[in-house]
Amino acid sequence: MSESELFDAVDALLASRATLPSPEERKRLRRAHGLTVEEVADALKVRRATVTSWESGRTEPRPPERDAYARLLDGLAKLYPTPADPGDENAPASGAPAETSADPTDIAPTDTGPTDTGPTDTAPTDTAPANTASTDTESAGPAPTAADPTSVEPRFENGPLAVVDVGDDGRASAYCADGLILDVPAKSLPALVEWTLKEAGLGQPKLSGPGKPSDPLIVLTEAALGRYGLPVALTEEERLAGRIPENHKTVKQLIRADWKLTRRGFGPWARIYRPATGSERNCVQLCLPSWGALDPRHWGAAAQLPPADLARVLGTYAARVMTPRGSTAVTGLELMTALHPPTRAVRDETTGGFRKADGKNPGSLGEEPVDPAPCEAPDGHPVLADLPRFHVRGPDEKLFEEAYDWARPLTDDECLRRNLVGIDVNMAFAAGANGLTVGLGAPTHVEEPVFDPKLPGSWLVDLSHVDLSRVKVAKDRWAELDADLLPSPFTPKGDHPGGPAWYATPTVAYAVELGYEVRPVEAWLRYDNGRYLDAWYNRLRDAYLATMADLGVGADLPPADFLAAMDGWAGRDPQLAIVVSAIKATVKGGLGKLRERPRGEGWRSGRRWRALERPTWRPDIRAAVISRTRVNLHRKIVRHAAFTGDYPVAVLSDCVVYAVDGASPLDFLPYRDGKPLPGGFRLGVNPGLVKHEGTQSVLWGEGVRERFGAPELNLARYIKDGTVTDADNGE
């Protein structure tokens, strides 16, 4: 060994024992340089929760990450020495970029109604497990013990939000997320907005370097609504309009005080602002639960909780996901933008200050909307204006990537088994977004392209030659299967394709993975692309795992212990169970918003609607996520069938039902020495893994089908509790 190699080895030993500053100092240095937890984690190739754990003192870094982390902190310490006055520790560095801001009227998603049911197209409903390309990427690492509330800044010392209530004595109080209760002197709504911005200490730091802090959120109880001159509930006309009239006395008060409302007016989620001055935003968001702001499908009974409990629920969600910006669907979409802002600040060499950079922020969707390819556009879109009226597009004209809804009759052998057992994939569509390359810019039309599985886009190709009776399940291993007992991976209904059709890249890539050649006729491809949804997935995954861990369901539990922990998990802390529901709704609602349809507003076919004006209206991204989750679910079904000889009898989105003799997933999932089938179904709480959905008898299933005269009725829809009503079947 040479002398230089010896010295390098000694340097490595010294670095591995490098002294690190205290956890508080680590956080101070990161914030002083304007770095987010995500940026540090990406640079060190670790998880966000790992950096959070280092900064909280729960764990210490180990080589080789420790060496790089020590080097980073040492460099930052030279740039930002410890301030003499400890009270200034949280002050931003003078060299940190100023935050650019925009008027709240530019907020992309616009809720025009009291609740958000998502786009009229079928929105993803937490379906299918997730893999990256043809290999699994399910993370089985430990759940973070808590999500980082993205560093506490002095101006946000009281948290992201407060619930304002009025007691019997007429005094108004603001219940903050951490249990703090503030006196609210304001007796009018304009005064409440002023108090929130100047004295309340509410808000949330930005989630990414070029981003903006979240505006403070004020939740008004019914008693508070009366104090500030607002109705306790909306009339039917106001509910349909999604707002109170512009001539309402409280709205006039705001206007007289020089406050403005966004285009959606004063509704269940109202934004009150004055135009931004410099880097400072003057904006407060209101949430009015009694007006329907908290959809019970996603927030359960949150609207009926006492103020302190409601503050805890919304505060936990805000700390782990982000401050709600409207419905869970709107928040899911806003989270994408918050993690990948369309613009960034750069130093102006002339003035020495900061300005908005020319062009879009790398990795973002930019500020301008992008029209879809004709095959990606929903019916009525302006790019289809030349089509004849009442024209119905077929598979060779329209991209149709949706979640599974497939079922078949039971075989004679399956009828002799005792039970139907359903397994459900955790956070399936979120996991499907993980590691997925999606288009960031406009599509390019290509004739007779050579298929590239790494290139996102839409492909017109004939996959009718793919024979599911003989498929490749490993590099050099083929499996003989009963194709009649399997759904096709290429259509939502599981039907075999009859000719050329449009597919997203993951669907075509799966046909190649099964061992078959593909020859696209044409394609719309996006050469500007990236893993836009990775940070979004990581944020929601960490929020979900942290909350489930708080409910006693850890990420490292053995299969039997996991099933036991899942038994009654929601009853251990009903308030945290509401947070879990809201996180799941944020996933599917956010993805559904990528293809939001017209919501009234006098829209006519062929004309643009409001959602088209935002850069996050991207049906191609939604289609790619759905495509990937569907084929990933099919991959697991195929591997399970090849290994066990068992086939599903029904598949609905993220739920798969098998006919078995036992009553538990452990009775048919092939575990050996505690290890699952590689590439197959695996029990666990992580996104992409499965849990027990429900068990019903085979007699129940056959009875339901006989009752409705439907031998292929999808039993996965009712497997959870066995309840079937006439309304469910159109009677």
* 175 bridge partner residues: 163, 181
In-domain check, residue 173? yes
Same domain membership, residue 191 and residue 44:
no
Residue 107: the pLDDT is 36
Average pLDDT over residues 317-328: 96
Residue 36: the pLDDT is 81
Residue 361: the pLDDT is 84
The model carries a pTM of 0.80
In-domain check, residue 598? no
Neighbours of 163 (CB within 10 A): 29
SS3 assignment, position 164: strand
Same domain membership, residue 81 and residue 157:
no
Same domain membership, residue 175 and residue 315:
yes
> Is pLDDT above 60 for 529?
yes
The least confident of 43-52, 155-164, 407-416, 540-549 is: 43-52
First to last CA, the chain: 83
User: Domain range holding 266?
Assistant: 151-203+215-321
Q: What element of type H or E holds 470?
A: strand 470-474
Q: Round to whole Å and give the CA distance between 613 and 607.
A: 12
Same domain membership, residue 165 and residue 79:
no
Q: Are 520 and 526 in contact (CB under 8 A)?
A: no
Same domain membership, residue 159 and residue 63:
no
Is residue 356 very low, low, confident or very high in pLDDT (cuts 50, 70, 90)? low
Query: What CATH number should be reported for the domain holding residue 71?
Result: 1.10.260
Mean pLDDT of the chain: 86
In-domain check, residue 474? no
Residue 351: the pLDDT is 61
Domain boundary among 39, 68, 88: 88
Average pLDDT over residues 235-253: 93
Same domain membership, residue 267 and residue 175:
yes
Query: Which of 631, 634, 632, 624 has its CA nearest to residue 459?
Result: 624
Average pLDDT over residues 569-580: 96
In-domain check, residue 292? yes
Same domain membership, residue 183 and residue 297:
yes
Residue 114: the pLDDT is 35
Average pLDDT over residues 695-703: 95
Domain boundary among 321, 348, 363: 321
Domain boundary among 88, 120, 136: 88
DSSP 111-162: --SSS----SSPPP-S-S--EETTEE----SPPPSS---S---GGGTT-SEE
pLDDT tens by residue, 330-344? 999 999 999 999 987
- Better pLDDT: 229 or 64: 229
**DSSP 8-state class, residue 214:** B
> Is pLDDT above 60 for 226?
yes
DSSP 485-497: GS--TTSTT-PPP
- Better pLDDT: 49 or 188: 188
Same domain membership, residue 158 and residue 241:
yes
| Continuous H helices in 220-263 | 222-227, 236-241, 249-256
Is residue 279 very low, low, confident or very high in pLDDT (cuts 50, 70, 90)? low
pLDDT tens by residue, 439-497? 999 999 999 999 999 999 999 999 999 999 999 988 888 999 999 999 999 999 999 99
Instruction: Report the C-alpha dihedral over residues 168, 203, 293, 254, rounded to 10 degrees.
Output: 70
Residue 147: the pLDDT is 37
pLDDT tens by residue, 139-178? 444 433 333 444 456 788 899 999 999 998 899 999 999 8
Q: Round to whole Å and give the CA distance between 318 and 252.
A: 31
Is residue 566 very low, low, confident or very high in pLDDT (cuts 50, 70, 90)? very high
Q: Round to whole Å and give the CA distance between 10 and 371.
A: 58
In-domain check, residue 675? no
The CA radius of gyration of the chain, in Å to the nearest whole number, is 27
The least confident of 14-18, 487-491, 517-521, 708-712 is: 14-18
Residue showing tokens 């989620």: 269
The domain tally of the chain equals 2
> Is pLDDT above 90 for 260?
yes
Residue 10: the pLDDT is 58
Average pLDDT over residues 646-669: 96
Cα angle, residue 126 at apex, residues 286 and 501 outer, rounded to 5°? 115
Q: What element of type H or E holds 334?
A: helix 328-339
Residue 92: the pLDDT is 35
Residue showing tokens 């990948």: 340
**DSSP 8-state class, residue 483:** G
Instruction: Give, in order, the Cα–Cα distances in Å from 446 to each of 54, 439, 450, 459.
Output: 49, 15, 10, 10
> Is pLDDT above 60 for 194?
yes
Average pLDDT over residues 232-239: 94
Q: Round to whole Å and give the CA distance between 680 and 657.
A: 15
Question: Percent of the chain at pLDDT above 70?
Answer: 84
Q: Are 659 and 410 in contact (CB under 8 A)?
A: yes
pLDDT tens by residue, 599-631? 877 888 889 999 999 999 999 999 999 999 999
Question: Percent of the chain at pLDDT above 90?
Answer: 66
Same domain membership, residue 266 and residue 160:
yes
In-domain check, residue 256? yes
Q: Round to whole Å and give the CA distance between 268 and 270.
A: 6
> Is pLDDT above 80 for 384?
yes
Instruction: Report the C-alpha dihedral over residues 699, 701, 706, 707, rounded to 10 degrees.
Output: 100
Same domain membership, residue 170 and residue 303:
yes
In-domain check, residue 455? no
Residue 723: the pLDDT is 87
Same domain membership, residue 224 and residue 308:
yes
In-domain check, residue 542? no
> Is pLDDT above 70 for 88?
no
Tokens linked to 342: 């369309």
Is residue 83 very low, low, confident or very high in pLDDT (cuts 50, 70, 90)? low
pLDDT tens by residue, 91-139? 333 333 333 333 333 333 334 333 333 333 444 433 333 333 333 444 4
Same domain membership, residue 254 and residue 162:
yes
